[in-house]
Structure 1
Amino acid sequence: MDRVAEILAEASAEVVEPRFRALAAGEVMEKAPGEVVTIADREAEVIIERRLRELLPVPVVGEEAVAADPGLARALHSEPAVWLVDPVDGTANFIAGRPEYAVMASLVRSGETVAAWIWQPETATSYTAELGSGAWRNGHRLTRTPAPGDPADWRGSVKSRFLSPDRRRTLEANAAAFGEISEGRHAAGIEYPDIAEGALDFILYWRTLPWDHAPGSLLINEAGGLSARLDGSRYRPEAPGGQDGLLVAADPEAWERTRDILIGR
């Protein structure tokens, strides 16, 4: 666990942090319509992939490698163990000079996330989680307190970018039952820890790319919260294009109440 955390911090220090607010012309590229990548993303992934494979020689499913060859993501289903890597989560924030970005990795065995790491460079904060062993922030155990009793006091986020217009209108109308709804911070590696730390009580995601959600889902579940599909099944990482919809909440009761309010049973 400690060595992977070191690998993420080392790669960040070598090629990510030096480019924060210092990206040169030509170091930001479009990899797909509406999707951008930087030289920092690509170089960090290469470093992390090499060092993780030295630690455990299994396939590495990295966000940027999959962007170039989508077939690589099949390893999540075909291989007994896989590393997942998001070299710069929150790339748009990183490009804009906002500090809400992270470097993330997770280990998946037989389709289940068994270990997770989130490194937040700008605050030097490391989050780790191990299946059945708990969640941690900089070596201190994380335990999420339950959400307040009244949903009118809850703070949450509904990610509506990938929703149909009809579903978006319904969810946004239902969300008025909660105390505060924000757009979130546009980086899963910041938002999941926000729930674990009590800054948010729930988030509804729709598109669930595995490198974005595997680390945080394990962190939340090990801290006492719940990250689950809308049918109640626990989150398991899938190749892009798989199941949509993921609700993350401070505790199982809050998860149930949030789902009932937002979408019904």
Structure 2
Amino acid sequence: MEKVAEIIAEASAEAVEPRFRALAAGEVMEKAPGEVVTVADREAEVIIARRLRELLPVPVVGEEAVAADPALARALHAEPAVWLVDPVDGTANFVAGRPEYAVMVSLVRDGRTVASWIRHPVTATTYTAELGSGAWRDGHRLTRTPAPADPAKWRGSVKSRFLDPARRRRIEANSAAFGEMGPGRHAAGIEYPDVVEGAMDFLLYWRTLPWDHAPGSLLLTEAGGRAARFDGTPYTPEPPGGEDGLLVAADPATWERCRALLLAP
């Protein structure tokens, strides 16, 4: 666990942090409509992938490598062990000079996330989780306390961009049951720790790219929260284009009630 944390911190210091609020002309590109990538994303992924393979020689499924060759993501189903890498989570924030970005790695074995690392470069904070062994922030054990009993006191966010129009209207109307709804932080690597630390009580995602959600979902569940599909199936990382929809909440009881309220007719 410590060695991977070192790899992430060193790659961030080498390829990411020097470019924060210092990106040069030509160092930001559009890789898909509305989605940007930077030289920091690409360089950090190369560094992290190389060093992870030296540590454990299994396939690396990186966000930028998959953008270039989508077939690489099949390793999540085809291989017994896979590294997942998100070299800069929250790239739009990074490009805009906002501090809400993260560097993330997960280890997936037999389809389950068994270890994860989330680095916040701006604060030099590292979150780690290991299946069955707990969740940690810089060596301090994390336990999420249950959300308030009254949903009117909950703080949450619904990511509605990829929802179909009918489902979006229903969920957004039902969100009136909650106390405080916000747009989120535009980076899963920031938002999952927010739930673990008590700043948020629930999050609803629709598109669930594996490098975005494998790290935080393990962190949250190891801290006592719940991350599951709408039918209650625990989250497992799927290649892009797989199953959509993911509700994460502070604790199992909050998850059940939040789902019922959001999906009410």
Fold-level similarity (TM above 0.5): yes
Aligned to 1:77: 77
1:241 alignment partner AA = G
Q: Aligned equivalents of 2:34 and 2:203: distance in 1?
A: 23
Aligned to 1:255: 255
Aligned to 1:193: 193
Q: Aligned equivalents of 1:24 and 1:119: distance in 2?
A: 24
Q: What 5-or-longer segments of structure 1 have no aligned partner?
A: none
Give the secondary-structure state (helix, strand or coil) at the position aligned to 2:122. Answer: helix
Q: By how many angstroms is 1:116 displaced?
A: 0.3
Q: CA RMSD in A?
A: 0.7
Where does 1:99-248 land on structure 2 (aligned, <5 Å)? Answer: 99-248=99-248
Give the secondary-structure state (helix, strand or coil) at the position aligned to 1:122. Answer: coil
How many equivalent pairs are there?
265
Where does 1:50-89 land on structure 2 (aligned, <5 Å)? Answer: 50-89=50-89
Q: By how many angstroms is 1:264 displaced?
A: 3.8
Q: Aligned equivalents of 2:158 and 2:238: distance in 1?
A: 21
**8 A Cα contact 2:104 2:117, kept in partner:** yes
Give the secondary-structure state (helix, strand or coil) at the position aligned to 1:16. Answer: helix
1:39 aligns with 2:61: no
Q: By how many angstroms is 1:164 displaced?
A: 1.2
**8 A Cα contact 2:107 2:116, kept in partner:** yes
1:54 alignment partner AA = E
Q: Aligned equivalents of 1:132 and 1:115: distance in 2?
A: 10
Q: What 5-or-longer segments of structure 2 have no aligned partner?
A: none
* 1:121-152 alpha-carbon deviations (Å, 9 max, x no partner): 00111000000000000000000000001000
Aligned to 1:93: 93
1:69 alignment partner AA = D
**8 A Cα contact 2:130 2:222, kept in partner:** yes
Q: By how many angstroms is 1:33 displaced?
A: 1.7
What is the TM-score normalised by the length of structure 1? 0.99
1:22 alignment partner AA = A
Q: By how many angstroms is 1:35 displaced?
A: 1.4
Identity %: 81
Where does 1:12-23 land on structure 2 (aligned, <5 Å)? Answer: 12-23=12-23
Q: Aligned equivalents of 1:180 and 1:168: distance in 2?
A: 18
Q: Aligned equivalents of 2:207 and 2:123: distance in 1?
A: 27
Q: By how many angstroms is 1:11 displaced?
A: 0.4
* 1:51-95 alpha-carbon deviations (Å, 9 max, x no partner): 000000000000000000000000000000000000000000000
**8 A Cα contact 2:154 2:178, kept in partner:** yes
Q: Aligned equivalents of 1:55 and 1:111: distance in 2?
A: 20
Aligned to 1:6: 6
What is the TM-score normalised by the length of structure 2? 0.99
| Deviation >3 Å, runs of 4+ | none
**8 A Cα contact 2:174 2:264, kept in partner:** no
Q: By how many angstroms is 1:167 displaced?
A: 1.1
